[in-house]
Amino acid sequence: MKLNPRRLYQANRNALKELLRIVAPLYEANKSLAISSFQRDDDTNACFFNLNNSLQEKLSELPRQRATMSELTEISASLYDLLSQDVEAREYRSSAIEKQMDISQLETIMKQAHIEMQEEIKETERSFQSISSDEQAIDNKIVKKQAETDRLRKRLQQLQSVRPAYMDEYESLESQLRMLYEAYVQKFRNLAFLRSMLEDQEVNTTEEFERAEDKVVKQPPVLQQSEEADVLQIKKTEVGPRMFGSITASTSSEDSDTDSSSTDTESEKVQLTDVKASKKNAARLLKDFEGSSPDNSMLAGAAGGKISEPERRTSIS
């Protein structure tokens, strides 16, 4: 903006023209501000939308442009290679252009190409025929397999509907086997229970025998007293009335002690005899039962574990 300071300095009507140069742009700017804010916003949004669309289009074209650039680089490299080879091919090209083509030679080449094409066509037809024949053979095999499958299915249905001749015998043998197995299990349980009873009886017998032996070992003085009492009794019978009353009284008391100790010894011997007899009877009973029971290996397989006391008593009963 150019102003004339001389006119401004005069401050007359000519100065107004100079001042209008400054005021006019300011006035236009103020006038443009009078436009509604809504209209300005719409214009701004429209401009932004157009700019965004154009930017999206450019971005979408970017991969294609990159691919084009890479292709252009490859084409340029291949073109450079071909141009480098053109020096050698130029001579052959010029000689081929200058050479006059013989009609008979062209006819021979065309006939040869036609013959080769006919052979390829025949080979293709033969391959098609072989494929069709193979397809027909495969179809025949499929039909045969389907017929065989249907025949076998009917045979299977027939066999499933017919009851075998040995089925009745099989069912009767199965019922007998079930009964024998139940008896076998019962005998095995009884045998296990008798074995446990025999073990308990052996333990009790061993304990009683040990206690009886301990008592017998601890009683030699008593036996000696009984022997001395027997000797005194014999002497008393030999001496007769020469013994005094006090000696007679003491002898009678010793006799009573000897009789009681001998009675205890005899009762213990009887008890030991009864224990041995019961042990022999239990062993004989177990031996007889094992002789009539099945094989021990089969018993162990069918037992299935240790049997409790209530089950043993139930099986015995």
pLDDT at 62 over 70: yes
Give the pLDDT of residue 196. Answer: 92
| 189 in the same domain as 303 | yes
Query: Does 179 fall in a domain?
Result: no
pLDDT at 223 over 60: no
| 243 in the same domain as 190 | yes
Domain span holding position 11: 5-77
Stronger pLDDT, 277 or 177, i.e. the higher one? 177
Q: Using the 8-state DSSP alphabet, how is residue 165 labeled?
A: T
* Domain count along the chain: 3
Q: Using the 8-state DSSP alphabet, how is residue 99 labeled?
A: S
Cβ atoms within 10 Å of 194's Cβ, excluding its own: 19
| 188 in the same domain as 131 | no
Query: Does 168 fall in a domain?
Result: no
Q: Residue 84 and residue 79: Cα distance in Å, rounded?
A: 8
Provide mean pLDDT across the span 71-75: 88
Query: Does 280 fall in a domain?
Result: yes
Helix (H, G, I), strand (E, B) or coil at 4: coil
Q: Residue 254 and residue 228: Cα distance in Å, rounded?
A: 9
pTM of the model: 0.28
% of the chain residues with pLDDT over 70: 60
Provide mean pLDDT across the span 181-194: 94
Q: Which of 49, 77, 105 is where one domain is finished?
A: 77
pLDDT tens digits, 188-222? 999 999 999 999 999 998 888 888 878 777 765 55
| 307 in the same domain as 204 | yes
Provide mean pLDDT across the span 271-283: 63
| 280 in the same domain as 218 | yes
| 199 in the same domain as 134 | no
234 neighbors 259 (Cβ within 8 angstroms): no
| 295 in the same domain as 188 | yes
Query: Does 196 fall in a domain?
Result: yes
pLDDT tens digits, 145-175? 999 999 999 999 988 888 877 888 999 999 9
Stronger pLDDT, 70 or 317, i.e. the higher one? 70
Query: Does 115 fall in a domain?
Result: no
Provide mean pLDDT across the span 295-307: 41
pLDDT tens digits, 2-53? 666 666 666 677 777 777 777 777 777 777 666 545 455 566 667 777 777 7
Cα–Cα distances in Å, from 285 out to 111, 249, 280, 281, 316? 116, 54, 9, 6, 14
- Tokens 């089969």 locate to 298
Query: Does 21 fall in a domain?
Result: yes
Q: What angle do CA 132, 135, 136 make, to 5 degrees?
A: 90
Task: Give the residue from 87, 92, 297 showing the smallest Cα distance to 188.
Answer: 297
